[in-house]
Amino acid sequence: MTASARIEVVGVKNTINQLGKIDKELQKEFKANATRVAQPAINAAQNMYTQVPLSGMSRDWTQKKDGRKIKGFSVAKAKAGVQIKFDTRRNAVGVILIIQKDQAAAIFETAGRANANRLSANLSPVQAGRTRFIGPAVYRSRRGIEAEMKHVIADAARTVQRGM
């Protein structure tokens, strides 16, 4: 008598996690392929940063509520801060994210989303849940990225199925 078991991996998050369990190199290869696919959106977002949004933002400042020091906005740091992140935690909303790591640029991206303030009044308006540069750049590149990413994910899922 033979016994067989069928394991089915559903979703990108599971696929990435299972690749890591099978072979860390497979997981690294998937992440490299996903980064390659997302590179046009990353480049588009980086190219949006051409100048300091407000002249005063180039200087270091201190937050009023808790006294933390924040480095001033720099175009070079803002461009370098646009990165891809893979989040496979159980409660993660997005799995493959394009994020802004530079603190001053992240503040610029999101200032005024929740509450209107002086900084957001002097910057371009932004709706709740949106960003000023990264979101629009990613949405413009979205169709090409999604089509190519489906192939990368399908290949990874097939690898996981073969490995189990």
Q: Calculate the average pLDDT of the chain.
A: 87
CA distance 158 to 95: 19
Do the beta carbons of residue 100 and residue 116 sit within 8 Å?
Answer: no
Q: What is the pLDDT of residues 111-158, one digit of tens each?
A: 888 888 888 888 888 888 889 999 999 999 989 888 999 899 888 888
Highest mean pLDDT of the ranges 10-24, 41-55, 87-101: 41-55
Q: What is the pTM of this model?
A: 0.83
pLDDT at 2 over 60: no
Residues 85-97, mean pLDDT to the nearest whole number: 87
12 pLDDT above the threshold of 50: yes
Report the pLDDT value the prediction gives residue 148, as an integer from 0 to 100: 93
pLDDT one-digit tens code per residue, 14-37: 888 888 888 899 999 999 999 999
Q: Are 98 and 41 in contact (CB under 8 A)?
A: yes
Question: For residues 61 and 19, is the Cβ–Cβ distance under 8 A?
Answer: no
What residue type is assigned to position 133 of the chain? F
pLDDT at 8 over 80: no
**pLDDT of amino acid 117:** 81
Asked whether residue 6 carries a pLDDT value surpassing 50, the answer given is no
Give the pLDDT confidence score for residue 72 in this predicted structure: 95
Tokens of 78: 């803002």
